[in-house]
Amino acid sequence: MDDEKNAKGEHSALLMPQFEEFEQRAEILGELHARPFEKISQPRRVFLLAFLTDKEDEQSEREMVNALCAAQGMAPPAELSNYHSMSIGQWNFRWERHNEFTAYRWDTEDKETDEGFDFSADYGARLLSELNFQPPGKLIVATQIRLTQFKRSPEEYESFFNPNSFCMIETDHGKGRVATDFQVDTMGFTRFVIEDHGMSEYRAGALVQRVLEVETYRTLALLGLPVAKKAMPVVNMAQDGLAQLTAEIAQAQSIEDNHRLLNKMTDLAAKLEAQAAATSFRFAASLAYHDIVMSRLGVMNETPIEGARRFSSFFRRRLDPAISTCRMVEERQTSLSRKLMRTAELLRTRIQFELEQQNRDLLDSMNRRARLQLRLQRTVEGLSVAAVSYYIVGLIKYMIEGLDKSGLIFGLSPTLLTALSVPFVLLFMWLITRRIHRKFTESE
Protein backbone atom coordinates (compact mmCIF):
# COMPACT_ATOMS: atom_id res chain seq x y z
CA MET A 1 0.00 0.00 0.00
CA ASP A 2 2.81 2.41 0.92
CA ASP A 3 4.58 1.53 -2.29
CA GLU A 4 1.38 2.27 -4.22
CA LYS A 5 1.00 5.65 -2.47
CA ASN A 6 4.64 6.44 -3.14
CA ALA A 7 4.18 5.47 -6.75
CA LYS A 8 1.17 7.76 -7.05
CA GLY A 9 3.07 10.56 -5.37
CA GLU A 10 6.03 10.09 -7.65
CA HIS A 11 3.72 10.05 -10.67
CA SER A 12 2.09 13.31 -9.55
CA ALA A 13 5.45 14.90 -8.86
CA LEU A 14 6.70 13.88 -12.27
CA LEU A 15 3.51 14.85 -14.10
CA MET A 16 2.87 18.44 -12.95
CA PRO A 17 6.30 19.97 -13.70
CA GLN A 18 5.84 18.93 -17.33
CA PHE A 19 3.20 21.65 -17.80
CA GLU A 20 3.94 25.35 -18.11
CA GLU A 21 1.65 27.03 -15.60
CA PHE A 22 -0.10 30.30 -16.37
CA GLU A 23 1.52 33.09 -14.38
CA GLN A 24 -1.71 34.26 -12.73
CA ARG A 25 -3.29 30.84 -12.19
CA ALA A 26 -2.92 30.96 -8.40
CA GLU A 27 -4.36 34.49 -8.28
CA ILE A 28 -7.34 33.53 -10.43
CA LEU A 29 -8.12 30.37 -8.46
CA GLY A 30 -7.67 32.18 -5.16
CA GLU A 31 -10.00 35.03 -6.05
CA LEU A 32 -13.09 32.96 -5.21
CA HIS A 33 -11.65 32.33 -1.73
CA ALA A 34 -10.52 35.89 -1.03
CA ARG A 35 -12.19 37.86 1.77
CA PRO A 36 -14.18 34.93 3.21
CA PHE A 37 -17.05 35.41 5.61
CA GLU A 38 -15.85 35.20 9.20
CA LYS A 39 -17.84 33.36 11.81
CA ILE A 40 -19.33 35.68 14.39
CA SER A 41 -21.51 35.22 17.45
CA GLN A 42 -23.69 37.61 19.42
CA PRO A 43 -23.52 39.81 21.30
CA ARG A 44 -21.00 41.60 19.12
CA ARG A 45 -19.97 45.16 18.23
CA VAL A 46 -18.57 45.72 14.73
CA PHE A 47 -16.93 48.88 13.42
CA LEU A 48 -15.95 49.63 9.83
CA LEU A 49 -14.03 52.61 8.45
CA ALA A 50 -13.45 53.03 4.71
CA PHE A 51 -11.10 55.57 3.14
CA LEU A 52 -10.83 56.71 -0.47
CA THR A 53 -7.28 55.93 -1.56
CA ASP A 54 -5.17 55.91 -4.71
CA LYS A 55 -1.89 54.37 -5.88
CA GLU A 56 0.14 56.97 -4.01
CA ASP A 57 -1.44 55.87 -0.71
CA GLU A 58 -0.78 52.16 -1.20
CA GLN A 59 2.80 52.14 0.09
CA SER A 60 2.09 54.16 3.25
CA GLU A 61 -1.01 52.07 3.86
CA ARG A 62 0.97 48.82 3.73
CA GLU A 63 3.62 50.29 5.99
CA MET A 64 0.94 51.17 8.55
CA VAL A 65 -0.58 47.67 8.45
CA ASN A 66 2.89 46.09 8.68
CA ALA A 67 3.71 48.27 11.69
CA LEU A 68 0.42 47.29 13.32
CA CYS A 69 1.23 43.62 12.80
CA ALA A 70 4.76 44.09 14.14
CA ALA A 71 3.44 45.79 17.29
CA GLN A 72 1.29 42.73 17.94
CA GLY A 73 4.14 40.34 17.21
CA MET A 74 2.40 38.90 14.15
CA ALA A 75 3.54 38.30 10.59
CA PRO A 76 2.64 41.05 8.09
CA PRO A 77 0.46 40.38 5.03
CA ALA A 78 2.07 39.03 1.88
CA GLU A 79 3.67 41.60 -0.40
CA LEU A 80 0.95 41.49 -3.07
CA SER A 81 -1.92 40.65 -0.73
CA ASN A 82 -4.85 43.07 -0.45
CA TYR A 83 -6.44 41.32 2.51
CA HIS A 84 -5.27 40.51 6.04
CA SER A 85 -6.86 39.70 9.38
CA MET A 86 -5.43 39.26 12.88
CA SER A 87 -6.27 39.59 16.57
CA ILE A 88 -5.46 42.66 18.67
CA GLY A 89 -6.27 41.78 22.26
CA GLN A 90 -9.99 41.16 22.43
CA TRP A 91 -10.50 42.71 19.01
CA ASN A 92 -10.52 41.04 15.60
CA PHE A 93 -8.91 43.28 12.98
CA ARG A 94 -9.48 43.01 9.22
CA TRP A 95 -7.86 45.03 6.44
CA GLU A 96 -9.14 45.02 2.85
CA ARG A 97 -7.79 47.04 -0.04
CA HIS A 98 -10.06 47.63 -3.06
CA ASN A 99 -9.64 49.52 -6.32
CA GLU A 100 -10.37 52.99 -4.98
CA PHE A 101 -10.97 52.52 -1.28
CA THR A 102 -9.58 50.67 1.72
CA ALA A 103 -11.70 49.21 4.51
CA TYR A 104 -10.67 48.58 8.12
CA ARG A 105 -12.94 46.50 10.34
CA TRP A 106 -12.87 45.79 14.08
CA ASP A 107 -15.21 43.61 16.05
CA THR A 108 -15.33 42.49 19.66
CA GLU A 109 -17.69 41.02 22.19
CA ASP A 110 -20.38 43.47 23.19
CA LYS A 111 -22.09 44.08 26.51
CA GLU A 112 -25.83 44.48 26.55
CA THR A 113 -28.90 43.84 28.64
CA ASP A 114 -32.54 43.34 27.84
CA GLU A 115 -33.20 46.86 29.06
CA GLY A 116 -31.73 48.42 25.90
CA PHE A 117 -28.50 49.28 24.19
CA ASP A 118 -26.36 52.34 23.73
CA PHE A 119 -24.31 53.12 20.64
CA SER A 120 -22.48 55.94 22.37
CA ALA A 121 -19.91 53.68 24.06
CA ASP A 122 -16.55 54.94 22.80
CA TYR A 123 -14.33 51.91 23.45
CA GLY A 124 -13.91 51.48 19.70
CA ALA A 125 -12.59 55.04 19.46
CA ARG A 126 -10.29 54.41 22.42
CA LEU A 127 -8.77 51.43 20.60
CA LEU A 128 -8.03 53.58 17.55
CA SER A 129 -6.42 56.16 19.78
CA GLU A 130 -4.30 53.56 21.56
CA LEU A 131 -3.10 52.17 18.23
CA ASN A 132 -2.44 55.67 16.87
CA PHE A 133 -4.52 54.67 13.88
CA GLN A 134 -3.95 57.25 11.12
CA PRO A 135 -4.55 55.58 7.74
CA PRO A 136 -3.95 57.44 4.46
CA GLY A 137 -6.84 58.63 2.34
CA LYS A 138 -10.10 60.42 3.07
CA LEU A 139 -12.85 58.93 5.23
CA ILE A 140 -15.93 58.00 3.22
CA VAL A 141 -17.68 55.33 5.32
CA ALA A 142 -17.97 54.96 9.10
CA THR A 143 -20.37 52.29 10.35
CA GLN A 144 -21.02 50.41 13.55
CA ILE A 145 -23.20 47.33 14.02
CA ARG A 146 -24.58 45.81 17.17
CA LEU A 147 -25.33 42.09 16.88
CA THR A 148 -27.86 41.24 19.56
CA GLN A 149 -30.09 38.37 20.63
CA PHE A 150 -32.96 40.55 21.87
CA LYS A 151 -36.01 41.13 19.70
CA ARG A 152 -37.61 44.56 19.53
CA SER A 153 -40.57 45.94 17.64
CA PRO A 154 -40.34 48.66 14.99
CA GLU A 155 -42.00 51.07 17.41
CA GLU A 156 -39.20 50.53 19.95
CA TYR A 157 -36.56 51.17 17.26
CA GLU A 158 -38.31 54.30 16.00
CA SER A 159 -37.73 55.88 19.39
CA PHE A 160 -34.01 55.41 18.78
CA PHE A 161 -33.68 55.78 14.99
CA ASN A 162 -35.05 58.61 12.84
CA PRO A 163 -38.66 57.63 12.00
CA ASN A 164 -38.51 59.42 8.62
CA SER A 165 -35.84 57.07 7.28
CA PHE A 166 -36.21 54.06 9.57
CA CYS A 167 -35.94 50.71 7.78
CA MET A 168 -36.22 47.17 9.12
CA ILE A 169 -36.21 43.80 7.38
CA GLU A 170 -36.19 40.11 8.16
CA THR A 171 -33.79 37.69 6.53
CA ASP A 172 -32.75 34.06 6.72
CA HIS A 173 -36.37 32.91 7.14
CA GLY A 174 -36.94 35.13 10.14
CA LYS A 175 -33.78 34.11 12.01
CA GLY A 176 -32.22 37.51 11.40
CA ARG A 177 -33.54 41.06 11.49
CA VAL A 178 -31.74 44.28 10.51
CA ALA A 179 -32.74 47.80 11.57
CA THR A 180 -31.20 51.17 10.63
CA ASP A 181 -31.99 54.71 9.53
CA PHE A 182 -28.91 55.14 7.25
CA GLN A 183 -28.14 58.41 9.03
CA VAL A 184 -24.93 59.61 10.68
CA ASP A 185 -25.06 59.96 14.46
CA THR A 186 -23.26 62.50 16.61
CA MET A 187 -20.13 60.32 16.63
CA GLY A 188 -19.97 60.26 12.82
CA PHE A 189 -21.19 56.67 12.36
CA THR A 190 -24.17 55.17 10.60
CA ARG A 191 -25.78 52.60 12.89
CA PHE A 192 -27.24 49.14 12.34
CA VAL A 193 -28.79 46.64 14.71
CA ILE A 194 -28.81 42.98 13.69
CA GLU A 195 -30.98 40.65 15.72
CA ASP A 196 -29.79 37.05 15.80
CA HIS A 197 -32.63 34.63 16.48
CA GLY A 198 -30.99 31.31 15.78
CA MET A 199 -28.57 31.96 12.95
CA SER A 200 -25.40 29.92 12.74
CA GLU A 201 -22.13 31.75 13.33
CA TYR A 202 -21.35 31.51 9.63
CA ARG A 203 -24.76 32.92 8.61
CA ALA A 204 -24.41 35.71 11.16
CA GLY A 205 -20.96 36.57 9.83
CA ALA A 206 -22.27 36.57 6.27
CA LEU A 207 -25.17 38.85 7.21
CA VAL A 208 -22.85 41.29 9.00
CA GLN A 209 -20.54 41.38 5.97
CA ARG A 210 -23.43 41.98 3.55
CA VAL A 211 -24.83 44.78 5.69
CA LEU A 212 -21.40 46.43 5.73
CA GLU A 213 -21.14 46.03 1.96
CA VAL A 214 -24.59 47.53 1.41
CA GLU A 215 -23.64 50.56 3.50
CA THR A 216 -20.21 50.91 1.88
CA TYR A 217 -21.28 50.53 -1.72
CA ARG A 218 -24.42 52.64 -1.44
CA THR A 219 -22.20 55.47 -0.16
CA LEU A 220 -19.66 54.97 -2.94
CA ALA A 221 -22.46 54.82 -5.52
CA LEU A 222 -23.55 58.30 -4.50
CA LEU A 223 -20.12 59.74 -5.31
CA GLY A 224 -21.33 60.12 -8.88
CA LEU A 225 -24.21 62.45 -7.96
CA PRO A 226 -22.09 65.60 -7.25
CA VAL A 227 -20.16 64.90 -10.45
CA ALA A 228 -23.41 64.63 -12.40
CA LYS A 229 -24.71 67.90 -10.96
CA LYS A 230 -21.45 69.63 -11.84
CA ALA A 231 -21.49 68.19 -15.36
CA MET A 232 -25.11 69.16 -16.06
CA PRO A 233 -24.44 72.84 -16.99
CA VAL A 234 -21.85 71.81 -19.60
CA VAL A 235 -24.27 69.26 -21.06
CA ASN A 236 -27.05 71.86 -21.22
CA MET A 237 -24.66 74.36 -22.81
CA ALA A 238 -23.62 71.78 -25.40
CA GLN A 239 -27.23 70.95 -26.22
CA ASP A 240 -28.21 74.62 -26.63
CA GLY A 241 -25.05 75.30 -28.62
CA LEU A 242 -25.73 72.37 -30.94
CA ALA A 243 -29.29 73.59 -31.62
CA GLN A 244 -28.05 77.12 -32.36
CA LEU A 245 -25.22 75.94 -34.62
CA THR A 246 -27.54 73.61 -36.52
CA ALA A 247 -29.87 76.54 -37.22
CA GLU A 248 -26.94 78.68 -38.38
CA ILE A 249 -25.68 75.90 -40.66
CA ALA A 250 -29.00 75.92 -42.50
CA GLN A 251 -28.61 79.67 -43.14
CA ALA A 252 -24.90 79.71 -44.02
CA GLN A 253 -24.22 81.03 -47.52
CA SER A 254 -20.45 81.14 -47.91
CA ILE A 255 -17.54 78.85 -47.21
CA GLU A 256 -16.23 81.38 -44.70
CA ASP A 257 -19.47 81.00 -42.69
CA ASN A 258 -19.11 77.23 -42.78
CA HIS A 259 -15.50 77.41 -41.59
CA ARG A 260 -16.54 79.68 -38.71
CA LEU A 261 -19.37 77.32 -37.70
CA LEU A 262 -17.05 74.30 -37.93
CA ASN A 263 -14.57 75.97 -35.57
CA LYS A 264 -17.37 76.69 -33.08
CA MET A 265 -18.62 73.13 -33.30
CA THR A 266 -15.12 71.73 -32.83
CA ASP A 267 -14.64 73.83 -29.68
CA LEU A 268 -18.02 72.71 -28.34
CA ALA A 269 -17.26 69.06 -29.05
CA ALA A 270 -13.84 69.37 -27.39
CA LYS A 271 -15.39 70.72 -24.17
CA LEU A 272 -17.98 67.96 -24.10
CA GLU A 273 -15.44 65.22 -24.82
CA ALA A 274 -13.10 66.54 -22.14
CA GLN A 275 -15.91 66.41 -19.56
CA ALA A 276 -17.02 62.95 -20.74
CA ALA A 277 -13.46 61.66 -20.33
CA ALA A 278 -13.24 63.19 -16.83
CA THR A 279 -16.58 61.76 -15.65
CA SER A 280 -16.74 58.39 -17.40
CA PHE A 281 -14.94 56.48 -14.62
CA ARG A 282 -17.03 58.03 -11.86
CA PHE A 283 -20.32 57.29 -13.59
CA ALA A 284 -19.28 53.74 -14.47
CA ALA A 285 -18.15 53.14 -10.89
CA SER A 286 -21.42 54.50 -9.47
CA LEU A 287 -23.46 52.20 -11.71
CA ALA A 288 -21.28 49.23 -10.75
CA TYR A 289 -21.57 50.01 -7.03
CA HIS A 290 -25.33 50.35 -7.36
CA ASP A 291 -25.47 46.92 -9.00
CA ILE A 292 -23.48 45.49 -6.09
CA VAL A 293 -25.90 47.02 -3.58
CA MET A 294 -28.89 45.52 -5.40
CA SER A 295 -27.08 42.18 -5.61
CA ARG A 296 -26.38 42.15 -1.87
CA LEU A 297 -30.00 43.00 -1.10
CA GLY A 298 -31.09 40.18 -3.36
CA VAL A 299 -28.82 37.72 -1.55
CA MET A 300 -30.14 38.91 1.81
CA ASN A 301 -33.64 37.99 0.58
CA GLU A 302 -35.24 40.71 2.65
CA THR A 303 -38.70 40.04 4.01
CA PRO A 304 -40.90 43.02 4.97
CA ILE A 305 -41.91 43.67 8.55
CA GLU A 306 -45.26 45.25 9.26
CA GLY A 307 -44.85 48.87 10.24
CA ALA A 308 -41.33 49.23 8.76
CA ARG A 309 -39.89 50.16 5.37
CA ARG A 310 -37.67 47.72 3.50
CA PHE A 311 -34.13 48.61 2.44
CA SER A 312 -34.97 48.17 -1.24
CA SER A 313 -37.98 50.48 -0.91
CA PHE A 314 -35.84 53.11 0.77
CA PHE A 315 -33.18 52.85 -1.95
CA ARG A 316 -35.76 53.04 -4.73
CA ARG A 317 -36.92 56.33 -3.28
CA ARG A 318 -33.53 57.85 -2.43
CA LEU A 319 -30.66 55.98 -4.10
CA ASP A 320 -32.15 54.98 -7.45
CA PRO A 321 -33.01 58.57 -8.50
CA ALA A 322 -29.41 59.61 -7.84
CA ILE A 323 -28.10 56.73 -9.95
CA SER A 324 -30.66 57.55 -12.65
CA THR A 325 -29.31 61.10 -12.70
CA CYS A 326 -25.78 59.80 -13.25
CA ARG A 327 -26.98 57.46 -15.98
CA MET A 328 -28.99 60.26 -17.62
CA VAL A 329 -26.04 62.66 -17.68
CA GLU A 330 -23.76 59.98 -19.09
CA GLU A 331 -26.28 59.05 -21.79
CA ARG A 332 -26.85 62.70 -22.69
CA GLN A 333 -23.10 63.25 -22.99
CA THR A 334 -22.78 60.22 -25.26
CA SER A 335 -25.79 61.19 -27.36
CA LEU A 336 -24.67 64.82 -27.74
CA SER A 337 -21.19 63.68 -28.65
CA ARG A 338 -22.59 61.51 -31.45
CA LYS A 339 -24.83 64.33 -32.68
CA LEU A 340 -21.94 66.79 -32.68
CA MET A 341 -19.83 64.33 -34.66
CA ARG A 342 -22.61 63.81 -37.23
CA THR A 343 -23.24 67.55 -37.58
CA ALA A 344 -19.54 68.31 -37.85
CA GLU A 345 -19.20 65.61 -40.50
CA LEU A 346 -22.12 67.14 -42.40
CA LEU A 347 -20.48 70.54 -42.19
CA ARG A 348 -17.14 69.14 -43.35
CA THR A 349 -18.93 67.51 -46.29
CA ARG A 350 -20.48 70.83 -47.24
CA ILE A 351 -17.12 72.59 -47.00
CA GLN A 352 -15.50 69.83 -49.05
CA PHE A 353 -18.21 70.14 -51.68
CA GLU A 354 -17.76 73.89 -51.85
CA LEU A 355 -13.99 73.49 -52.11
CA GLU A 356 -14.44 70.98 -54.93
CA GLN A 357 -16.78 73.41 -56.65
CA GLN A 358 -14.21 76.17 -56.30
CA ASN A 359 -11.48 73.87 -57.59
CA ARG A 360 -13.62 72.95 -60.58
CA ASP A 361 -14.28 76.61 -61.37
CA LEU A 362 -10.59 77.32 -60.98
CA LEU A 363 -9.68 74.48 -63.34
CA ASP A 364 -12.22 75.74 -65.88
CA SER A 365 -10.72 79.20 -65.62
CA MET A 366 -7.24 77.80 -66.02
CA ASN A 367 -8.35 75.81 -69.06
CA ARG A 368 -9.83 78.91 -70.66
CA ARG A 369 -6.69 80.84 -69.91
CA ALA A 370 -4.56 78.05 -71.36
CA ARG A 371 -6.61 78.03 -74.56
CA LEU A 372 -6.22 81.79 -74.88
CA GLN A 373 -2.53 81.48 -74.26
CA LEU A 374 -2.33 78.77 -76.94
CA ARG A 375 -4.11 80.96 -79.45
CA LEU A 376 -1.88 83.86 -78.58
CA GLN A 377 1.16 81.62 -78.84
CA ARG A 378 0.11 80.39 -82.28
CA THR A 379 -0.47 83.97 -83.42
CA VAL A 380 2.93 84.95 -82.12
CA GLU A 381 4.49 81.91 -83.78
CA GLY A 382 2.88 82.83 -87.11
CA LEU A 383 4.14 86.36 -86.81
CA SER A 384 7.53 85.00 -85.81
CA VAL A 385 7.64 82.75 -88.90
CA ALA A 386 6.74 85.72 -91.11
CA ALA A 387 9.29 87.97 -89.44
CA VAL A 388 12.11 85.40 -89.61
CA SER A 389 11.20 84.55 -93.20
CA TYR A 390 11.28 88.24 -94.04
CA TYR A 391 14.80 88.56 -92.63
CA ILE A 392 15.96 85.39 -94.41
CA VAL A 393 14.50 86.59 -97.72
CA GLY A 394 16.33 89.89 -97.14
CA LEU A 395 19.59 88.01 -96.67
CA ILE A 396 18.92 85.99 -99.86
CA LYS A 397 18.24 89.24 -101.72
CA TYR A 398 21.58 90.67 -100.60
CA MET A 399 23.29 87.47 -101.62
CA ILE A 400 21.64 87.46 -105.12
CA GLU A 401 22.45 91.11 -105.69
CA GLY A 402 26.06 90.40 -104.79
CA LEU A 403 26.17 87.47 -107.19
CA ASP A 404 24.54 89.62 -109.94
CA LYS A 405 27.27 92.23 -109.69
CA SER A 406 29.79 89.45 -109.98
CA GLY A 407 28.02 88.09 -113.08
CA LEU A 408 27.37 84.73 -111.47
CA ILE A 409 23.57 84.51 -111.99
CA PHE A 410 23.84 84.30 -115.77
CA GLY A 411 21.67 87.28 -116.58
CA LEU A 412 18.72 86.18 -114.44
CA SER A 413 16.68 88.88 -112.73
CA PRO A 414 17.65 89.32 -109.02
CA THR A 415 14.11 90.36 -108.24
CA LEU A 416 12.70 87.20 -109.82
CA LEU A 417 15.13 84.98 -107.91
CA THR A 418 14.29 86.73 -104.66
CA ALA A 419 10.57 86.26 -105.31
CA LEU A 420 11.04 82.60 -106.10
CA SER A 421 12.90 82.05 -102.78
CA VAL A 422 10.02 83.33 -100.67
CA PRO A 423 7.81 80.15 -100.80
CA PHE A 424 10.76 77.92 -100.06
CA VAL A 425 11.78 80.05 -97.04
CA LEU A 426 8.24 80.04 -95.69
CA LEU A 427 7.98 76.26 -96.13
CA PHE A 428 11.33 75.76 -94.44
CA MET A 429 10.37 77.91 -91.44
CA TRP A 430 6.99 76.13 -91.12
CA LEU A 431 8.73 72.73 -91.09
CA ILE A 432 11.22 73.92 -88.48
CA THR A 433 8.38 75.20 -86.26
CA ARG A 434 6.42 71.90 -86.52
CA ARG A 435 9.55 69.93 -85.64
CA ILE A 436 10.10 72.04 -82.55
CA HIS A 437 6.45 71.53 -81.49
CA ARG A 438 6.76 67.77 -82.01
CA LYS A 439 9.84 67.57 -79.82
CA PHE A 440 8.13 69.48 -76.99
CA THR A 441 5.05 67.25 -77.27
CA GLU A 442 7.10 64.06 -77.13
CA SER A 443 9.08 65.32 -74.10
CA GLU A 444 5.85 65.95 -72.17
Q: What is the pLDDT of residues 173-223, one digit of tens each?
A: 889 999 999 999 888 889 999 999 999 999 999 999 999 999 999 999 999
Q: Are residues 86 and 113 in the same domain?
A: yes
Q: Are residues 237 and 181 in the same domain?
A: no
Could you tell me if residue 315 is inside a domain? yes
Domain closes at, from 211, 235, 270: 211
Q: Supply the pLDDT for residue 285.
A: 95
CA atoms within 13 A on the CB side of 10: 6
Number of structural domains the chain divides into: 3
Least confident range of 88-97, 311-320, 342-351, 371-380: 371-380
Q: Give me the chain's average pLDDT, please.
A: 83
Question: How does residue 32 score in pLDDT terms, banded at 50, 70 and 90?
Answer: low
Query: Residue 384: is its pLDDT beyond 80?
Result: no
Could you tell me if residue 22 is inside a domain? no
**Residues 178-197: b if buried by 16+ CB within 10 A, e if exposed:** bbbbbeeeeeebbbbbbbbe
Q: Are residues 354 and 412 in the same domain?
A: no
Strand partners, 176: 171, 196
Q: Are residues 244 and 103 in the same domain?
A: no
Could you tell me if residue 19 is inside a domain? no
Q: Are residues 279 and 318 in the same domain?
A: yes
pLDDT in tens, 253-299: 777 877 888 888 888 888 999 999 999 999 999 999 999 999 999 99
CA atoms within 13 A on the CB side of 201: 6
Could you tell me if residue 422 is inside a domain? yes
Could you tell me if residue 175 is inside a domain? yes
3-state SS record for the chain: CHHHHHHHHHHHHHHHHHCCCCCCHHHHHHHCCCCCCCCCCCCEEEEEEEEECCHHHHHHHHHHHHHHHHHCCCCCCCCCCCEEEEEECCEEEEEEECCCEEEEEEEEECCCECCECCCCCCHHHHHHHHCCCCCCCEEEEEEEEEEECCCCCHHHHHCCCCCCCCEEEEECCCCEEEEEEEEECCCCCEEEEEEECCCCHHHHHHHHHHHHHHHHHHHHHCCHHHHHHHHHHHHHHHHHHHHHHHHHHHHCCCHHHHHHHHHHHHHHHHHHHHHHHHHHHHHHHHHHHHHHHHHHHHHHCCEECCCCECHHHHHHHHHHHHHHHHHHHHHHHHHHHHHHHHHHHHHHHHHHHHHHHHHHHHHHHHHHHHHHHHHHHHHHHHHHHHHHHHHHHHHHHHHHHHHHHCCCCCCCCHHHHHHHHHHHHHHHHHHHHHHHHHHHHHHC
Could you tell me if residue 74 is inside a domain? yes
Q: Are residues 280 and 334 in the same domain?
A: yes
Query: Residue 78: is its pLDDT beyond 90?
Result: no
Query: Residue 342: is its pLDDT beyond 60?
Result: yes
Question: How does residue 340 score in pLDDT terms, banded at 50, 70 and 90?
Answer: confident
Question: How does residue 120 score in pLDDT terms, banded at 50, 70 and 90?
Answer: low
Q: Are residues 90 and 134 in the same domain?
A: yes
Q: Supply the pLDDT for residue 1.
A: 43
For residues 304-322, average pLDDT: 90
For residues 8-21, average pLDDT: 55
Query: Residue 8: is its pLDDT beyond 70?
Result: no
Q: Supply the pLDDT for residue 203.
A: 93
Query: Residue 23: is its pLDDT beyond 60?
Result: yes
Q: Supply the pLDDT for residue 195.
A: 93
Question: How does residue 5 score in pLDDT terms, banded at 50, 70 and 90?
Answer: very low
For residues 433-437, average pLDDT: 76
For residues 312-317, average pLDDT: 90
Q: Are residues 248 and 346 in the same domain?
A: yes
Q: Are residues 400 and 351 in the same domain?
A: no
Query: Residue 6: is its pLDDT beyond 50?
Result: no
Better-scored residue on pLDDT, 30 or 353: 353
Question: How does residue 34 score in pLDDT terms, banded at 50, 70 and 90?
Answer: low
d(CA 290, CA 221): 6
Q: Are residues 348 and 398 in the same domain?
A: no
Could you tell me if residue 295 is inside a domain? yes
Question: Which residues span the domain enclosing 206?
Answer: 37-211
Q: Are residues 75 and 200 in the same domain?
A: yes
Q: Are residues 243 and 302 in the same domain?
A: yes
Q: Supply the pLDDT for residue 28.
A: 72
Domain closes at, from 211, 234, 257: 211
Could you tell me if residue 201 is inside a domain? yes
Domain closes at, from 211, 243, 259: 211
